[in-house]
Protein backbone atom coordinates (compact mmCIF):
# COMPACT_ATOMS: atom_id res chain seq x y z
CA UNK A 1 0.00 0.00 0.00
CA UNK A 2 2.78 2.41 0.84
CA UNK A 3 4.64 3.55 -2.20
CA UNK A 4 7.71 4.73 -0.46
CA UNK A 5 10.62 2.44 0.09
CA UNK A 6 11.44 2.35 3.76
CA UNK A 7 14.78 4.05 4.00
CA UNK A 8 16.22 3.93 7.51
CA UNK A 9 14.27 6.92 8.73
CA UNK A 10 15.78 9.88 6.90
CA UNK A 11 16.51 12.06 9.85
CA UNK A 12 13.55 10.93 11.90
CA UNK A 13 12.81 14.47 12.96
CA UNK A 14 12.09 15.22 9.30
CA UNK A 15 8.58 13.84 9.57
CA UNK A 16 7.79 14.84 13.12
CA UNK A 17 4.94 17.23 13.50
CA UNK A 18 3.34 16.08 10.31
CA UNK A 19 -0.19 15.28 11.27
CA UNK A 20 -1.32 11.99 9.79
CA UNK A 21 -0.29 8.60 10.98
CA UNK A 22 0.57 5.52 9.01
CA UNK A 23 -2.51 3.69 10.22
CA UNK A 24 -4.67 6.33 8.66
CA UNK A 25 -2.82 5.98 5.38
CA UNK A 26 -3.22 2.24 5.35
CA UNK A 27 -6.99 2.62 5.68
CA UNK A 28 -7.12 4.96 2.75
CA UNK A 29 -8.34 3.26 -0.39
CA UNK A 30 -7.56 4.92 -3.69
CA UNK A 31 -10.19 4.90 -6.38
CA UNK A 32 -9.38 2.50 -9.16
CA UNK A 33 -11.96 3.46 -11.78
CA UNK A 34 -11.00 6.83 -13.13
CA UNK A 35 -13.65 7.93 -15.60
CA UNK A 36 -14.99 10.42 -13.11
CA UNK A 37 -12.51 13.22 -12.53
CA UNK A 38 -12.61 16.30 -10.37
CA UNK A 39 -10.88 19.53 -11.14
CA UNK A 40 -10.33 22.29 -8.64
CA UNK A 41 -10.99 25.68 -10.22
CA UNK A 42 -8.66 27.32 -9.42
CA UNK A 43 -6.26 24.72 -7.97
CA UNK A 44 -4.42 27.41 -6.04
CA UNK A 45 -6.33 30.39 -4.71
CA UNK A 46 -6.10 33.24 -2.25
CA UNK A 47 -8.12 33.61 0.94
CA UNK A 48 -11.54 35.04 0.17
CA UNK A 49 -11.80 33.41 -3.26
CA UNK A 50 -14.48 30.96 -4.28
CA UNK A 51 -13.33 27.50 -5.32
CA UNK A 52 -15.37 25.16 -7.51
CA UNK A 53 -14.62 21.46 -7.29
CA UNK A 54 -15.78 20.68 -10.79
CA UNK A 55 -16.95 17.12 -11.42
CA UNK A 56 -16.44 15.77 -14.93
CA UNK A 57 -18.32 12.70 -16.15
CA UNK A 58 -20.57 11.98 -13.20
CA UNK A 59 -21.91 8.54 -14.25
CA UNK A 60 -25.59 8.48 -15.17
CA UNK A 61 -26.36 5.62 -12.81
CA UNK A 62 -25.29 7.57 -9.75
CA UNK A 63 -28.21 7.84 -7.35
CA UNK A 64 -26.52 9.72 -4.51
CA UNK A 65 -23.21 11.31 -3.67
CA UNK A 66 -21.47 12.79 -0.66
CA UNK A 67 -18.60 15.20 -0.30
CA UNK A 68 -16.12 14.85 2.56
CA UNK A 69 -13.07 16.75 3.73
CA UNK A 70 -9.90 14.69 4.12
CA UNK A 71 -8.89 11.44 2.47
CA UNK A 72 -11.52 9.09 3.89
CA UNK A 73 -15.30 8.91 3.81
CA UNK A 74 -15.86 9.49 7.52
CA UNK A 75 -19.32 10.52 8.68
CA UNK A 76 -17.79 13.17 10.91
CA UNK A 77 -16.08 14.68 7.86
CA UNK A 78 -19.16 14.78 5.64
CA UNK A 79 -19.87 18.18 4.09
CA UNK A 80 -23.10 17.36 2.30
CA UNK A 81 -25.02 14.55 0.66
CA UNK A 82 -27.18 14.75 -2.41
CA UNK A 83 -29.91 12.32 -3.51
CA UNK A 84 -30.51 12.70 -7.21
CA UNK A 85 -33.99 11.11 -7.45
CA UNK A 86 -35.48 13.37 -4.82
CA UNK A 87 -33.20 16.35 -5.53
CA UNK A 88 -32.57 16.60 -1.82
CA UNK A 89 -29.53 17.86 0.02
CA UNK A 90 -28.52 16.91 3.54
CA UNK A 91 -25.81 18.92 5.23
CA UNK A 92 -23.13 17.00 7.09
CA UNK A 93 -21.31 17.78 10.30
CA UNK A 94 -18.29 19.17 8.42
CA UNK A 95 -20.42 21.72 6.57
CA UNK A 96 -18.98 25.18 7.05
CA UNK A 97 -21.96 27.17 5.83
CA UNK A 98 -19.91 28.16 2.78
CA UNK A 99 -20.32 25.07 0.61
CA UNK A 100 -23.01 24.31 -1.97
CA UNK A 101 -23.47 20.98 -3.78
CA UNK A 102 -24.97 20.90 -7.24
CA UNK A 103 -26.97 18.11 -8.84
CA UNK A 104 -24.10 17.49 -11.30
CA UNK A 105 -21.80 16.57 -8.41
CA UNK A 106 -19.76 19.79 -8.27
CA UNK A 107 -19.10 21.52 -4.95
CA UNK A 108 -18.68 25.26 -4.59
CA UNK A 109 -16.83 26.56 -1.54
CA UNK A 110 -17.11 30.30 -1.04
CA UNK A 111 -14.77 32.66 0.72
CA UNK A 112 -12.07 30.05 1.34
CA UNK A 113 -9.53 30.32 4.13
CA UNK A 114 -6.12 28.70 4.43
CA UNK A 115 -7.66 26.06 6.68
CA UNK A 116 -9.75 24.87 3.74
CA UNK A 117 -6.55 23.71 1.96
CA UNK A 118 -6.23 19.99 1.53
CA UNK A 119 -7.98 16.95 0.22
CA UNK A 120 -11.66 16.52 -0.49
CA UNK A 121 -13.32 13.34 -1.61
CA UNK A 122 -16.49 12.65 -3.50
CA UNK A 123 -18.19 9.35 -2.80
CA UNK A 124 -20.75 8.25 -5.36
CA UNK A 125 -23.30 5.49 -4.92
CA UNK A 126 -24.75 3.93 -8.06
CA UNK A 127 -28.04 2.13 -8.56
CA UNK A 128 -26.34 -1.22 -7.77
CA UNK A 129 -25.19 0.33 -4.48
CA UNK A 130 -21.59 0.31 -5.66
CA UNK A 131 -19.56 3.06 -4.14
CA UNK A 132 -16.66 4.94 -5.73
CA UNK A 133 -14.34 7.47 -4.22
CA UNK A 134 -12.57 10.24 -6.10
CA UNK A 135 -10.13 12.67 -4.58
CA UNK A 136 -9.25 16.28 -5.34
CA UNK A 137 -7.16 18.86 -3.57
CA UNK A 138 -6.65 22.59 -3.56
CA UNK A 139 -4.45 25.04 -1.82
CA UNK A 140 -5.32 28.43 -0.33
CA UNK A 141 -2.57 30.91 0.40
CA UNK A 142 -2.82 34.07 2.46
CA UNK A 143 -3.76 37.12 0.39
CA UNK A 144 -0.75 39.26 1.28
CA UNK A 145 1.97 36.67 1.61
CA UNK A 146 0.95 34.99 -1.60
CA UNK A 147 3.21 32.30 -2.96
CA UNK A 148 4.22 34.45 -5.92
CA UNK A 149 4.72 37.75 -4.14
CA UNK A 150 6.44 36.30 -1.13
CA UNK A 151 10.16 36.29 -1.75
CA UNK A 152 11.93 36.55 1.56
CA UNK A 153 15.44 35.10 1.45
CA UNK A 154 14.38 31.90 3.21
CA UNK A 155 11.40 31.05 1.05
CA UNK A 156 11.94 28.68 -1.85
CA UNK A 157 10.15 29.29 -5.14
CA UNK A 158 9.28 26.85 -7.90
CA UNK A 159 9.06 27.40 -11.61
CA UNK A 160 8.02 24.92 -14.30
CA UNK A 161 10.44 24.34 -17.15
CA UNK A 162 8.90 24.35 -19.70
CA UNK A 163 5.89 26.33 -18.44
CA UNK A 164 3.43 24.50 -20.74
CA UNK A 165 3.51 20.72 -20.56
CA UNK A 166 1.97 18.04 -22.77
CA UNK A 167 1.81 14.24 -22.39
CA UNK A 168 5.19 12.48 -22.78
CA UNK A 169 7.10 15.70 -22.07
CA UNK A 170 9.73 15.97 -19.39
CA UNK A 171 9.18 18.75 -16.88
CA UNK A 172 11.57 20.26 -14.36
CA UNK A 173 10.23 21.79 -11.15
CA UNK A 174 13.05 24.30 -10.92
CA UNK A 175 13.70 25.44 -7.35
CA UNK A 176 15.32 28.75 -6.52
CA UNK A 177 16.06 30.24 -3.17
CA UNK A 178 16.48 26.90 -1.41
CA UNK A 179 17.13 27.89 2.24
CA UNK A 180 20.61 27.26 3.61
CA UNK A 181 21.49 24.90 6.45
CA UNK A 182 18.83 22.37 5.58
CA UNK A 183 18.49 18.86 6.94
CA UNK A 184 16.56 17.82 3.92
CA UNK A 185 13.62 18.37 1.64
CA UNK A 186 10.81 16.35 0.12
CA UNK A 187 8.46 16.57 -2.82
CA UNK A 188 4.85 15.46 -2.49
CA UNK A 189 2.00 15.21 -4.91
CA UNK A 190 -0.80 17.23 -3.36
CA UNK A 191 -0.87 19.79 -0.61
CA UNK A 192 -0.39 17.61 2.44
CA UNK A 193 2.84 15.88 3.41
CA UNK A 194 1.31 12.42 3.50
CA UNK A 195 3.76 9.58 3.05
CA UNK A 196 1.49 7.94 0.55
CA UNK A 197 1.82 10.93 -1.78
CA UNK A 198 5.56 11.34 -1.40
CA UNK A 199 7.50 11.45 -4.65
CA UNK A 200 11.06 11.86 -3.46
CA UNK A 201 13.12 13.24 -0.62
CA UNK A 202 16.71 14.11 -0.01
CA UNK A 203 18.55 14.09 3.31
CA UNK A 204 21.40 16.56 3.05
CA UNK A 205 23.36 15.51 6.14
CA UNK A 206 23.85 11.99 4.84
CA UNK A 207 23.64 13.02 1.15
CA UNK A 208 21.03 10.41 0.43
CA UNK A 209 17.94 10.55 -1.76
CA UNK A 210 14.97 8.28 -1.94
CA UNK A 211 12.30 7.89 -4.55
CA UNK A 212 8.81 6.44 -4.15
CA UNK A 213 8.31 3.15 -6.02
CA UNK A 214 5.86 4.44 -8.54
CA UNK A 215 8.28 7.16 -9.61
CA UNK A 216 11.23 4.79 -10.19
CA UNK A 217 12.75 5.45 -13.56
CA UNK A 218 10.91 8.66 -14.23
CA UNK A 219 11.60 11.10 -11.40
CA UNK A 220 14.93 12.59 -10.33
CA UNK A 221 15.45 14.74 -7.28
CA UNK A 222 18.48 17.03 -7.34
CA UNK A 223 20.53 18.23 -4.40
CA UNK A 224 19.57 21.82 -5.32
CA UNK A 225 15.90 20.96 -4.61
CA UNK A 226 14.69 20.66 -8.19
CA UNK A 227 12.61 17.70 -9.33
CA UNK A 228 12.56 16.26 -12.83
CA UNK A 229 9.51 14.27 -13.97
CA UNK A 230 9.92 12.43 -17.23
CA UNK A 231 7.37 11.27 -19.74
CA UNK A 232 4.39 12.78 -17.91
CA UNK A 233 0.79 11.65 -18.39
CA UNK A 234 -2.45 13.47 -17.63
CA UNK A 235 -2.54 11.60 -14.32
CA UNK A 236 0.41 13.74 -13.26
CA UNK A 237 -1.79 16.84 -13.35
CA UNK A 238 -2.15 18.31 -9.88
CA UNK A 239 -0.50 20.26 -7.13
CA UNK A 240 3.10 19.53 -6.17
CA UNK A 241 4.59 20.63 -2.88
CA UNK A 242 8.21 21.03 -1.90
CA UNK A 243 8.83 21.06 1.84
CA UNK A 244 12.18 21.89 3.35
CA UNK A 245 13.29 21.28 6.90
CA UNK A 246 16.14 23.27 8.37
CA UNK A 247 18.72 22.14 10.90
CA UNK A 248 16.69 23.93 13.60
CA UNK A 249 13.53 22.13 12.40
CA UNK A 250 11.90 25.06 10.68
CA UNK A 251 9.85 24.10 7.69
CA UNK A 252 9.22 26.07 4.51
CA UNK A 253 7.21 25.08 1.50
CA UNK A 254 6.58 26.01 -2.08
CA UNK A 255 3.78 24.80 -4.28
CA UNK A 256 3.22 24.50 -8.00
CA UNK A 257 0.31 23.31 -10.11
CA UNK A 258 1.16 21.09 -13.06
CA UNK A 259 -1.34 20.88 -15.89
CA UNK A 260 -0.53 18.12 -18.38
CA UNK A 261 -2.30 18.80 -21.66
CA UNK A 262 -3.14 16.14 -24.22
CA UNK A 263 -0.80 16.03 -27.20
C1 LIG B 1 -22.37 22.00 -12.34
O2 LIG B 1 -23.22 23.01 -11.88
C3 LIG B 1 -22.55 24.21 -11.51
C4 LIG B 1 -23.60 25.16 -10.96
O5 LIG B 1 -24.69 25.27 -11.81
C6 LIG B 1 -21.84 24.79 -12.74
O7 LIG B 1 -21.12 25.96 -12.38
C8 LIG B 1 -20.88 23.76 -13.30
O9 LIG B 1 -20.33 24.25 -14.51
C10 LIG B 1 -21.60 22.46 -13.57
N11 LIG B 1 -20.62 21.45 -13.93
C12 LIG B 1 -20.78 20.66 -14.97
C13 LIG B 1 -19.70 19.64 -15.19
O14 LIG B 1 -21.69 20.76 -15.72
C1 LIG C 1 -15.12 35.88 4.29
O2 LIG C 1 -14.63 35.34 5.50
C3 LIG C 1 -14.04 36.29 6.35
C4 LIG C 1 -13.51 35.53 7.57
O5 LIG C 1 -12.73 34.46 7.13
C6 LIG C 1 -15.08 37.33 6.77
O7 LIG C 1 -14.46 38.31 7.58
C8 LIG C 1 -15.68 37.98 5.51
O9 LIG C 1 -16.70 38.86 5.87
C10 LIG C 1 -16.21 36.92 4.58
N11 LIG C 1 -16.65 37.53 3.31
C12 LIG C 1 -17.80 37.25 2.72
C13 LIG C 1 -18.05 37.94 1.44
O14 LIG C 1 -18.59 36.46 3.21
C1 LIG D 1 26.31 13.23 -2.88
O2 LIG D 1 26.22 11.96 -3.52
C3 LIG D 1 26.33 12.01 -4.93
C4 LIG D 1 26.19 10.59 -5.47
O5 LIG D 1 25.01 10.02 -5.01
C6 LIG D 1 27.67 12.61 -5.34
O7 LIG D 1 27.73 12.71 -6.75
C8 LIG D 1 27.82 13.99 -4.70
O9 LIG D 1 29.10 14.49 -4.98
C10 LIG D 1 27.61 13.91 -3.20
N11 LIG D 1 27.63 15.27 -2.65
C12 LIG D 1 28.27 15.59 -1.54
C13 LIG D 1 28.14 17.01 -1.10
O14 LIG D 1 28.90 14.79 -0.91
C1 LIG E 1 19.40 22.21 -10.24
O2 LIG E 1 19.92 21.07 -10.89
C3 LIG E 1 19.30 20.75 -12.12
C4 LIG E 1 19.90 19.45 -12.60
O5 LIG E 1 21.30 19.52 -12.60
C6 LIG E 1 19.49 21.89 -13.11
O7 LIG E 1 18.82 21.61 -14.32
C8 LIG E 1 18.91 23.16 -12.51
O9 LIG E 1 19.18 24.25 -13.36
C10 LIG E 1 19.54 23.43 -11.14
N11 LIG E 1 18.85 24.56 -10.52
C12 LIG E 1 19.44 25.72 -10.28
C13 LIG E 1 18.60 26.78 -9.67
O14 LIG E 1 20.62 25.90 -10.55
C1 LIG F 1 6.31 7.21 -22.08
O2 LIG F 1 5.25 6.51 -21.46
C3 LIG F 1 4.44 5.77 -22.36
C4 LIG F 1 3.32 5.17 -21.55
O5 LIG F 1 2.70 6.12 -20.74
C6 LIG F 1 5.27 4.71 -23.05
O7 LIG F 1 4.47 4.03 -23.98
C8 LIG F 1 6.45 5.38 -23.75
O9 LIG F 1 7.30 4.39 -24.30
C10 LIG F 1 7.23 6.22 -22.77
N11 LIG F 1 8.27 6.97 -23.47
C12 LIG F 1 9.52 7.05 -23.03
C13 LIG F 1 10.44 7.88 -23.86
O14 LIG F 1 9.88 6.51 -22.00
- What DSSP letter does each residue of 11-74 carry, written as one string? TGGGGTT----HHHHHH-------SSEEEEESSEEETT--EEEEEE---TTEEEEEEEESSS--
Angle at 260 between CA 200 and CA 196, to 5 degrees: 30
Work out the pLDDT band at 153, boundaries 50, 70, 90.
low
Whether 249 shows a pLDDT value over 50: the answer reads: yes
Segment 215-231 shows an average pLDDT of 96
221 or 15, which is more confident?
Answer: 221
> What spatial distance separates the first Cα and last Cα of the chain, rounded to whole Å?
32
- pLDDT score for 156: 87
Q: Within a 10 A sphere around the Cβ of 26, how many other Cβ atoms?
A: 11
Name the average pLDDT for the chain: 82
**Ligand 5: does its nearest atom lie under 6 Å from the Cβ of 234?**
no
The 3-state DSSP class for residue 127 equals coil
pLDDT band at 33 (very low <50, low <70, confident <90, very high): very low
Q: Are 138 and 239 in contact (CB under 8 A)?
A: yes
- Looking from the CA of residue 47, the nearest atom of ligand 2 is 5
At 76 the three-state DSSP class reads: helix
Question: Which pTM value belongs to this model?
Answer: 0.66
- 13 falls in which pLDDT band (50, 70, 90)? very low
Burial profile 221-239: b = 16 or more Cβ within 10 angstroms, e = fewer: beeebbbbbeebeeebbbb
Counting ligand 1 atoms within 8 A of each CB, the residue from 41, 50, 51, 54 with the most, and so the one to mutate, is: 54
DSSP 97: S
Q: Average of pLDDT values for 144-169? A: 75
Pocket test for ligand 2, best of 50, 111, 115 (most atoms within 8 A of CB): 111
Closest ligand to the CA of 220: 4
- The span from the CA of 255 to the CA of 185, in Å, is 13
Q: What is the per-residue pLDDT for 82?
A: 96
Cβ atoms of 95 and 80 closer than 8 Å: yes
Amino acid sequence: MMDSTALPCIPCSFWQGFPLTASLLILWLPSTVAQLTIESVPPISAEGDNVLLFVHNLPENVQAFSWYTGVMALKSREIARYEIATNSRTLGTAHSGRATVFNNGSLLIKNVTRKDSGYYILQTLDTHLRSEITRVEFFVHAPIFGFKKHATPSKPTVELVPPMVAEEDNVLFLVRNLPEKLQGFAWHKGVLPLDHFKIASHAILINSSMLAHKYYGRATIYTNGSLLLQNVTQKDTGIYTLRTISADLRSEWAIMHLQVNSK
